[in-house]
């Protein structure tokens, strides 16, 4: 079975280009609740026209509702979903778990796809998302081929992958950089792309990646069982959409990889210093870096203008013009094994007194479908010696074409009417204190006595297991990213920690929740879960989380208004993790001649490196599980003098010395104001 070719559509013109180029499905959004707010997008009238256009051509419509939502926004998103379902939309791409559950509750049977913002990284993630009600998971762009294959084999739901377009350097759903340093949240569709900005390093653009292109690997990806090939580009032009989709259409239909000429053509439409397949091939190094150069722009500007060929629907026509009987015109369209048929009846046919209207002329006029979406596959005419006005034949043809359009568009599936959203009420209050320490040896004696829960990275716990097992309040922070081939390693380390007496885990993804249930670890939710609203919190409560730290993006005071059946917390102190990267930017910066993670030992001897931006702000960077990197904010969040009643406090310790850790604990106890530069929530 061929995979679906899924095209971006950031505007009505781009959607038209996608349909004409042969896309099987398109994804687009309205003016709200989508992660590309700066795209042209669609107003209500355009949304209806877009869905009708796609249904006419048998193109599926995947509507993006892929931002994180505040509780007060859920009703608006549900109302928009209801409208789109009444138009005939096929599916919704959703990032907010609260919205997903509300959609499933109010519109039973609705098809949901888990956005890549959900951080679904492996088969365990897919299993958890399937339990919620998702039918498809959009996999991370960072997945290598071996993990794409493993995911397709083990996932209980469909797998969608990106095969072409822009790459974010941070794992999707785990980037706060634009929000924290610029006030424009990528989780809310307003990313300012700080990864594309210059930094004070030998390569001034250490975070900017080339665009992805997997066109050369189509056969292996098709054979792996990927359900949908996704093209990024809702900010791109209609020419780009048509050109790229046209090429991938051929590659899928012909089951082949792209030629050098086809890749060159796509690069001329848009690229950043060329393309990369580094994640796919596991060649993750500085060769993946690239920016949109003047040369790239000139190539695009001077490239040959694309001429879009209209996409036509094959129709078979049969006309009967028999003396004494009404003229009958029948149209038939077959699509995916379904036959659509419609008949138009005209006037009684009268025997010709002189020259009859010839079958050839009748056929010729019936086939004149130029202004319609149809193309005559074949035309058959059964005619006596009758005189039929050509104007009447043309009128029947037009009426039939219009009727067949409506037949192909069909009626939208009916869902219950959305009336009112009832949000959870009440909250469990807690005055407990928890903390994350990036390194075990920074956990001071005072910290062990002060915090009710302490979490250290799983690798740190294992490295210091003899000491860690002495303390019931020390648990593990599971890796923020792990692919299927890495899960056995994570599972074995976690089992070892449990055997030593570890009882709690800081969870930042759905796969971790599944693993904790498997091993009997008590689950506490991390900020990477992006809990924005009361319904999202209720999902984690139903999944038996013991507590949850709310997203720092909703603000500390707003956190008080979030209903919760489990203790909820906010960040009282610490450098927020701004990006979780698959690539080792530290290696690229410090060891520019080293191309392999296996040959990089800098991170083994240097806990933190510094990324300095153009303003002089310094962002600590550290190694994560399997040579990934995390970038932390240049200044810590500080709320110790602003305690919020009912919310437990959570601290993040990264590069602090032991003395600094103890001083911060004293400040938290005494509610002291900050003594250094800081930011508020």
pLDDT > 70 in the chain, percent: 100
- The two three-digit tokens of residue 390, written as one number: 């050509």
Residues 246 and 368 in one domain: no
Same domain, 249 and 324: no
Domain identity same for 76 and 162: yes
What's the gap between Cα 255 and its chain centre? 26
In a domain, 289, yes or no: no
Residues 401 and 457 in one domain: no
Same domain, 398 and 449: no
CB–CB of 100/132 below 8 Å?
yes
End-of-domain residue from the set 394, 409, 424:
409
Query: How far is residue 378's CA from residue 361's CA, in Å, rounded to a whole number?
Result: 15
- Residue 600 domain-assigned (yes or no): no
- Does residue 588 surpass a pLDDT of 90? no
Residue 432 has pLDDT above 90, yes or no: yes
Mean pLDDT of 62-67: 96
Query: Do 160 and 139 form a contact (C-beta atoms < 8 A)?
Result: yes
Confidence check: pLDDT of 597 > 80: no
Number of domains in the chain: 3
Residue 437 lies in a domain: yes
Segment 113-122 shows an average pLDDT of: 97
Mean pLDDT of the region 209-217: 98
178, pLDDT greater than 90? yes
Residue spans of beta strands (DSSP E) within 355-439: 374-383, 433-437
Find the CATH number of the domain harbouring 72: 3.20.20.70
Residue 478's nearest CA partner among 495, 465, 464, 466 is: 495
The pLDDT > 90 percentage for the chain reads 90
In a domain, 584, yes or no: no
Terminal-to-terminal C-alpha distance of the chain: 50
DSSP 3: P
Q: State if pTM tops 0.85.
A: yes
Would you state the pLDDT for residue 282? 96
- pLDDT > 80? residue 40: no
443 and 336 in a common domain: no
| pLDDT per position as a tens digit, 275-326 | 999 999 999 999 999 999 999 999 999 988 889 999 999 999 999 999 999 9
Task: State yes or no: pLDDT of 103 exceeds 80.
Answer: yes
- DSSP codes, 160-192: EEEEEE---SBPTT---HHHHHHS--GGGT---
pLDDT at 451: 98
**Sign of torsion, CA 587 590 593 599?**
negative
- Residue 595 — very low, low, confident or very high, per pLDDT cuts 50/70/90? confident
Query: CA 6, CA 484: separation in Å to the nearest integer?
Result: 25
Q: What is the pLDDT of residue 193?
A: 94
Is residue 643's pLDDT more than 90?
no
pLDDT of residue 38 exceeding 80: no
Asked whether residue 390 falls in the same domain as residue 249, the answer is no
35 and 129 assigned to the same domain: yes
75-84: pLDDT as tens digits: 999 999 999 9
Task: Specify whether the CB–CB gap between 187 and 164 falls below 8 A.
Answer: no
Indicate whether 592 belongs to any domain.
no
Per-residue confidence (pLDDT) for residue 526, from 0 to 100: 98
pLDDT value at residue 36: 76
The string of pLDDT tens digits covering residues 457-483 is 999 999 999 999 999 999 999 999 999
- Specify if 399 maps to a domain: yes
Identify the domain boundary among 409, 425, 454. 409
Residue-wise pLDDT for 501-551, tens only, equals 999 999 999 999 999 999 999 999 999 999 999 999 999 999 999 999 999
Domain hosting residue 563, numbered range:
433-575+635-670
What's the pLDDT tens digit per position in 214-244?
A: 999 999 999 999 999 999 999 999 999 999 9
Crossing angle for the helix pair 44-56 and 12-21, nearest 10 degrees?
10
């Amino acid at each position: 079975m061929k995979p679906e070719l899924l095209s971006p559509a950031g505007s009505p013109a781009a959607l038209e280009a996608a349909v004409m180029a042969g896309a099987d499905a398109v994804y687009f959004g309205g003016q709200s609740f989508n992660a590309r707010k700066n795209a042209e997008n669609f107003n209500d009238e355009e949304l209806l026209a877009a869905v009708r256009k796609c249904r006419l051509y048998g193109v599926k419509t995947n509507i993006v509702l892929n931002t994180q939502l505040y509780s007060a926004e859920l009703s608006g998103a549900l109302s928009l979903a209801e409208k789109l379902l009444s138009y005939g939309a096929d599916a919704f791409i959703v990032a907010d778990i609260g919205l997903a559950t509300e959609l499933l509750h109010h519109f039973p049977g609705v098809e949901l796809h888990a956005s890549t913002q959900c951080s679904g990284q492996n088969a365990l993630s897919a299993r958890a998302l399937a339990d919620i009600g998702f039918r498809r998971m959009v996999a991370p762009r960072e997945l290598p081929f071996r993990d794409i294959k493993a995911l397709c084999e083990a996932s209980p739901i469909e797998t969608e992958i990106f095969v072409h377009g822009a790459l974010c350097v941070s794992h999707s759903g785990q980037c706060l950089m634009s929000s924290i340093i610029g006030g424009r949240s990528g989780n809310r569709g307003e990313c300012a792309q700080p990864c594309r900005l210059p930094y004070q390093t030998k390569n001034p653009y250490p975070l900017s990646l080339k665009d992805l292109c997997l066109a050369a690997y189509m056969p292996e990806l098709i054979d792996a069982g990927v359900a949908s090939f996704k093209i990024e580009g809702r900010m791109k032009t209609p020419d780009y959409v048509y050109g790229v989709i046209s090429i991938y259409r051929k590659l899928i239909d012909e089951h082949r990889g792209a030629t050098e000429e086809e890749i060159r053509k796509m690069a001329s439409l848009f690229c950043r210093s060329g393309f990369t397949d580094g994640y796919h091939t596991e060649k993750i190094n500085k060769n993946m870096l690239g920016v949109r150069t003047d040369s790239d722009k000139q190539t695009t500007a001077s490239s040959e203008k694309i001429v879009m060929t209209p996409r036509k629907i094959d129709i078979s026509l049969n006309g009967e013009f028999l003396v004494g009987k009404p003229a009958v015109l029948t149209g038939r369209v077959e699509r995916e094994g379904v036959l659509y048929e419609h008949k138009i009846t005209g006037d009684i046919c009268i025997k010709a007194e002189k020259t009859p209207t010839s079958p050839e002329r009748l056929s010729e006029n019936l086939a004149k479908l130029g202004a319609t979406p149809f193309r005559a596959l074949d035309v058959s005419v059964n005619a006596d010696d009758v005189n039929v006005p050509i104007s009447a034949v043309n009128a029947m043809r037009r009426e039939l074409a219009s009727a067949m359009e409506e037949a192909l568009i069909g009626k939208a599936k009916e869902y219950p009417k959305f009336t009112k959203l009832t949000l959870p009420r009440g909250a469990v209050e807690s005055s407990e204190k928890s903390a994350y320490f990036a390194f075990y040896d920074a956990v001071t004696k005072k910290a062990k006595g002060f915090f009710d829960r302490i979490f250290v990275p799983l690798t740190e716990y294992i490295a210091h297991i003899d000491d860690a097992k002495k303390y019931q309040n020390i648990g593990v922070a599971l890796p923020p990213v792990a692919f299927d081939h890495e899960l056995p390693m994570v599972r074995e380390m976690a089992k070892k920690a449990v055997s030593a007496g570890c009882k709690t885990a800081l969870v930042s993804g759905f796969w971790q929740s599944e693993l904790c249930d498997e091993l009997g670890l008590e689950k506490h939710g991390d900020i990477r879960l992006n809990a924005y609203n009361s319904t999202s919190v209720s999902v984690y409560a139903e999944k038996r989380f013991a507590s949850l730290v709310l997203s720092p993006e909703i603000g500390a005071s707003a956190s008080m208004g979030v209903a919760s059946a489990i203790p909820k917390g906010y960040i009282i102190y610490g450098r927020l993790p701004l990006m979780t990267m698959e690539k080792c930017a530290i290696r690229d910066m410090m060891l520019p001649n080293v191309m392999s993670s296996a040959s990089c030992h800098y991170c083994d001897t240097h806990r933190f490196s510094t990324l300095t931006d153009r303003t002089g702000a310094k962002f600590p960077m550290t190694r994560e599980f399997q040579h990934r990197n995390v970038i932390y904010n240049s200044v810590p969040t500080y709320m110790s003098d602003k305690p919020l009643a009912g919310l437990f406090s959570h601290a993040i310790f990264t590069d602090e010395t032991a003395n600094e850790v103890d001083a911060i604990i004293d400040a938290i106890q005494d509610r002291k104001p900050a003594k250094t530069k800081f930011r508020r929530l």
